[in-house]
């Protein structure tokens, strides 16, 4: 090397190579691509294909690299929400809560406001139909449906304004928790929420397709315009509104869009509460698993103090989240309770066609299953918050300390759970309460119900 550096000609060539290597290292991919293109000008397509393959590999790798954060896991839920004109928050594709913002002057907000107004106008027409034309159970059910959708859209718009602050609070609490060690643990929450979203959205789609089938059956049996089947379907889909407004094909299509968005938004309400409940419960479980691994070993006062601080942070986070979504939670359970009672009451009636029968029983089964799963997921937060009491029993006597006693008293005295605007707490007992309420109301309603055969009334 000394002889090489002593020769001026060889030293010049060596320095030139070093400079070229440095430029190639710090240069952009475009500059490097141009060099490669010049070297292989006879086969330029190979370089292009190589860059496309490299980009796809990076994209796929990023898709399967999970950090385990809530912001990462909730992303598909928020994307679906914005498709259905809910949660107009910007930056939902980012993995960092600091990128989330809400602005009134954005397309998402304009879209959400437009649909919210549409839901409100539709509910107003149905109220007018009830008061002026026909006051019956089916019309009241339709009014409750669109009225609840209008309230849901308002609640999600209010939540969207607070969501960036909630997400940042969540991110700060997550950063202080014990880290997730395995890749399986980091992707568990995201996969769980994706499965909830996929199954619930698929069932909602099947339910809506069956509803459309029953509407088509009615439109064929009782056509308003015999030579226009599509117009018949669109007319009967929004018949209460078209009692006051003259039907046109454009208004029929607009009514169908409103109907589709309202149906999926109604189902999404439960999906969102389930996703948030699963995420909160997973954070309590993360801390509990960490304490359980160390419970039988030699622990210190500082260790339990650190765990207690994390537990208090999670309790405060649950309260912050509950303040943001308690109205949505109340709408979830009140809607489900009302429609379950109504559908069970109508189960005594003989349906006019096979399509109506399939739609009714699938809708009732899906509604019952969704309400049960929602109750269990929501109550899992309270279950995980009480789990430290079982973990404390594993601590050896010689490592019991005043800090651990204080921690145990806090867990025992506090009730950590989501609420429905403070009217009720979502604990495991709420499942029995909901079931008892349904049975009570059904026994009352059945006394005034007579078995009927519902036929097509044209």
Q: At 451, is the pLDDT very low, low, confident or very high (cuts 50, 70, 90)?
A: low
Question: Which of 336, 358, 322, 321 is CA-nearest to residue 441?
Answer: 336
Average pLDDT of the chain, as a whole number: 82
Q: Which residue has the higher pLDDT, 296 or 54?
A: 296
Q: Is residue 436's pLDDT more than 90?
A: no
pLDDT of residue 458: 60
Please name which of 329, 326, 315, 332 lies closest in space to residue 414, comparing C-alpha atoms: 315
pLDDT tens string 247-283: 888 999 999 999 999 998 889 999 999 999 999 999 9
Name the pLDDT band for 186 (thresholds 50, 70, 90): confident
pLDDT of residue 455: 57
Q: Minimum mean pLDDT among 51-60, 79-88, 290-299, 340-349: which range?
A: 51-60
Q: Which of 72-81, 324-333, 348-357, 384-393 has the lowest mean pLDDT?
A: 348-357
Distance separating alpha carbons of residues 41 and 364, to the nearest angstrom: 66
pLDDT of residue 191: 93
pLDDT digits (tens, 9 = 90+) for 280-315: 999 999 999 999 998 888 888 999 999 999 999 999
Q: Compute CA distances 52 → 26, 56, 220, whole Å.
A: 21, 6, 52
Q: Tell me what pLDDT residue 431 has.
A: 78
How much is the pLDDT for 411?
A: 93
User: What integer pLDDT is reported at residue 31 of this predicted model?
Assistant: 34
User: Hey, which residues does 101 pair with through a beta bridge?
Assistant: 90
* pLDDT, tens only, 398-416: 888 888 999 999 999 888 9
Q: Which residue has the higher pLDDT, 318 or 23?
A: 318
88-132 residue pLDDT tens: 999 998 888 899 999 999 999 999 999 999 999 999 999 999 888
Residue 50 — pLDDT band, cuts 50, 70, 90? low
> Does position 35 have pLDDT exceeding 60, yes or no?
no
- Provide the pLDDT for residue 229: 84
Of 44-48, 213-217, 223-227, highest mean pLDDT = 213-217
Q: How far is CA 189 from CA 81, 114, 192, in A?
A: 19, 33, 5
Q: Is the pLDDT of residue 429 over 80?
A: yes
pLDDT recorded at residue 250:
92
Rounded distance between C-alpha atoms, residue 367 and residue 365, angstroms: 5
Provide DSSP, 50-82.
HHHHHHHHHHHHHHH-----HHHHSHHHHHHHH
* Gyration radius (Cα) of the chain, Å: 30
Q: Is the model's pLDDT at 380 over the cut of 90?
A: yes
Encoded tokens for 286: 């993360």
Q: Which residues pair with 453 in a beta bridge?
A: 350
pLDDT at 39: 39
Q: Is the pLDDT of residue 193 over 60?
A: yes
pLDDT reported for residue 1: 42
Token pair for 455: 């036929």
Question: Is the pTM here over 0.85, yes or no?
Answer: no
Q: What value does the mean pLDDT take over residues 152-159?
A: 94
């Amino acid at each position: 090397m000394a002889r090489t550096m002593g020769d001026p000609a060889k030293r010049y060539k060596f320095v030139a190579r070093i400079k070229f290597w440095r430029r190639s290292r710090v240069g952009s991919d475009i500059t490097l691509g141009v060099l490669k293109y010049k070297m292989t000008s006879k086969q330029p397509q190979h370089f292009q294909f190589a860059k496309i393959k490299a980009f796809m590999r990076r994209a796929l790798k990023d898709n399967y690299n999970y950090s385990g954060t809530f912001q990462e896991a909730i992303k598909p839920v928020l994307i679906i929400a914005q498709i259905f004109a809910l949660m107009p928050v910007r930056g939902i594709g980012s993995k960092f809560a600091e990128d989330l913002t809400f602005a009134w002057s954005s397309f998402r907000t304009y879209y959400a406001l437009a649909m919210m107004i549409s839901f409100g106008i539709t509910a107003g027409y149905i109220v007018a139909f009830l008061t002026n034309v026909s006051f019956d159970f089916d019309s009241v059910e339709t009014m409750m449906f669109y009225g609840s959708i209008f309230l849901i859209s308002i609640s999600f718009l209010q939540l969207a304004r607070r969501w960036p602050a909630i997400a940042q609070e969540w991110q700060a609490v997550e950063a202080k928790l014990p880290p997730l060690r395995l890749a399986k643990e980091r992707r568990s929450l995201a996969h769980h929420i994706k499965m909830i979203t996929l199954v619930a959205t698929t069932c909602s789609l099947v339910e809506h397709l069956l509803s459309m089938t029953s509407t088509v059956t009615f439109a064929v049996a009782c056509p308003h315009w015999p030579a226009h089947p599509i117009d018949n379907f669109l007319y009967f889909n929004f018949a209460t509104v078209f009692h006051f407004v003259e039907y046109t094909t454009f208004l029929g299509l607009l009514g169908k869009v409103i109907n589709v968005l309202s149906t999926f938004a109604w189902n999404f309400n439960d999906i969102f509460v389930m996703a948030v409940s699963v995420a909160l419960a997973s954070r309590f479980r993360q801390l509990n698993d960490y304490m359980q691994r160390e419970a039988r070993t030699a622990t210190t006062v500082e260790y339990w103090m650190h765990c207690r601080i994390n537990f208090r942070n999670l309790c405060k986070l649950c309260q912050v989240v509950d303040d943001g979504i308690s109205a949505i939670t109340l709408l979830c359970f009140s809607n489900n309770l009302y429609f379950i009672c109504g559908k069970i009451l109508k189960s005594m009636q003989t349906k006019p066609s096979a399509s109506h029968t399939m739609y009714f029983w699938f809708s009732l089964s899906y509604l019952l299953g969704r309400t049960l799963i929602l109750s269990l997921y929501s109550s899992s937060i309270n279950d995980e918050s009480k789990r430290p009491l079982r973990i404390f029993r594993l601590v050896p006597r010689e490592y019991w300390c005043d800090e651990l006693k204080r921690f145990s008293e806090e867990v025992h005295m506090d009730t950590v759970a989501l609420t429905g605007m403070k009217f009720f707490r979502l604990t495991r007992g709420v499942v029995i309460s909901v079931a008892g309420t349904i049975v009570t109301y059904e026994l009352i309603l059945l006394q005034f119900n007579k078995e009927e055969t519902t036929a097509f009334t044209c």
